[in-house]
């Protein structure tokens, strides 16, 4: 059997498969259906300084090849995540976990990251500067290189853990954003978050989502994510986590060939709760089919 192990910012993963934030709760929601220790790691639900209810209903819409969400970072706040969710997470997952953090100011991000930095099970901080569904935060940091750099510097000052910055695709130059984050000290880049999108209800003649817009995810965005991972690989030297529309072992390999050191799986978890387990199971067979002995060797392999 081929070697599935990879390294992400100095931390070993048994395999590159990582359920993406917002589609996997805090792990225990899925641990009742399979042993989630088969995963490389997972990125837990986006956490903010204060508790958030999120956006009004409806928050979910469908489209060809995917879905839109406008959840708006519902979470119980970092104190409660540490007090209530992480102890439950520890019982069902024995590996380092990725902590996904969002905020509305650089200070917010730093506050939340400093708290999570003290949690031994947190292996990486995934700093989400790309949520399209909140106002005055999230994506507004991820569309301006200066603002993104300020968040990265603020977070790096309070943690010794690897900081992976999650980028939005809703920019004209993704490589410039990635370079700015790397220059500010980011240890890795994950991309892409959802694409800002909309559906309109024909009966009401109004946007279907109460928030107006939402974030598009699912197989429809895979080629966009792949293209951006490819471009960012040429722009930075830190490791890249590829995210966006991945739903099969073949998709994982494709992402790695584009330049991803590890791969997150998002919306697919919502249609098929066992999809990440099945991707891990299917990887050795797909590697054999394409003559891959070692996943580390193929990272960025599609570049000239």
Partner 1 sequence: MKQTVFEIAGNTLLAADAYKLVLTGDTSDVTAPGQFVNIALPGRFLRRPISVCDREGDRLTLLYKTVGRGTAQMAAMKAGETLDVLTGLGSGFSLEESGQTPLLAGGGIGAAPLYWLAKELIARGARPHVVLGFNRAADVFYADEFAALGCAVTVATADGSAGERGFVTDAMAGLSYSYVYACGPEPMLRAVWERAQTDGQFSFEARMGCGFGACVGCTRETTEGPKRVCKDGPVFRKGEILWET
**Which candidate, 110, 143, 137, 128, places its Cα nearest to that of 266?**
128
Q: Is 223 in the site for partner 1 (CB under 8 A)?
A: no
3-state secondary structure of 180: helix
Binding mask 22-61 for partner 1 (x = CB under 8 A): xxxx---xx--x-----------x-------xx-xxxxxx
The interface with partner 1 within residues 236-275 (CB under 8 A) comprises: 267, 269-274
C-beta of 198: minimal distance to partner 1 in Å? 15
Torsion angle of the four alpha carbons 200, 203, 206, 207, in this order, in degrees rounded to the nearest 10: -30
- Least separation in angstroms between CB 144 and partner 1: 28
Q: Which is nearer to partner 1, 49 or 161 (CB)?
A: 49
Residue 80 makes contact with partner 1 by CB under 8 A = no
Q: What CA–CA distances, in Å, run from 105 to 131, 139, 152, 198, 264?
A: 13, 11, 11, 26, 26
Could you give the angle at the alpha carbon of 287 between the alpha carbons of 27 and 237, nearest 5°? 70
Which is it for the CA torsion 31, 32, 35, 39, positive or negative? negative
Q: Reply yes or no on whether 131 is catalytic.
A: yes
Query: Annotated catalytic residue: which of 9, 113, 131, 181?
Result: 131
- CB of 82 or CB of 270, closer to partner 1: 270
What is the contact surface with partner 1 in residues (CB under 8 A)? Answer: 22-25, 29-30, 33, 45, 53-54, 56-67, 69, 71, 74, 218-219, 267, 269-274
- Which residues are marked as active site? 131
């Amino acid at each position: 059997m081929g070697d599935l192990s990879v390294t992400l910012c100095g931390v070993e993963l048994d395999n590159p498969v990582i359920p993406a934030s917002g589609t996997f709760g805090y792990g225990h929601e899925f641990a009742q259906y399979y042993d989630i220790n088969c995963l490389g790691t997972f990125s837990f639900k986006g956490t903010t300084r204060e508790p958030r209810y999120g956006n009004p209903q409806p928050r979910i819409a469908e489209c060809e090849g995917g879905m839109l969400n406008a959840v708006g970072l519902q979470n119980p706040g970092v104190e409660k995540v540490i007090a209530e969710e992480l102890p439950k997470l520890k019982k069902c997952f024995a590996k380092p976990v990725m902590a996904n953090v969002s905020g509305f100011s650089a200070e917010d991000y730093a506050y939340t990251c400093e708290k999570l930095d003290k949690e031994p099970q947190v292996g990486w901080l995934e700093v989400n500067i790309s949520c399209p569904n909140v106002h005055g935060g999230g994506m507004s940091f991820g569309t301006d290189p200066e603002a993104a750099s300020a968040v990265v510097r603020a977070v790096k000052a309070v943690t010794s853990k690897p900081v992976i910055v999650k980028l939005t695709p809703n920019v004209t130059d993704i490589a410039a954003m990635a370079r700015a984050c790397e220059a500010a000290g980011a240890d890795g880049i994950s991309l892409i978050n959802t694409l800002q999108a909309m559906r309109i209800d024909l009966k009401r003649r109004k946007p279907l989502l109460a928030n107006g817009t939402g974030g598009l995810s699912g197989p429809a965005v895979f080629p966009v994510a792949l293209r951006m991972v490819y471009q960012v690989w040429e722009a930075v030297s830190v490791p890249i986590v590829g995210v966006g529309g991945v739903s099969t072992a073949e998709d994982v390999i494709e992402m790695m060939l584009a330049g991803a050191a590890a791969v997150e799986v998002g919306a697919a978890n919502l249609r098929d709760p066992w999809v990440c387990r099945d991707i891990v199971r299917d990887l050795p067979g797909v590697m054999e089919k394409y003559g891959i002995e070692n996943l580390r060797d193929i990272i960025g392999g599609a570049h000239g």
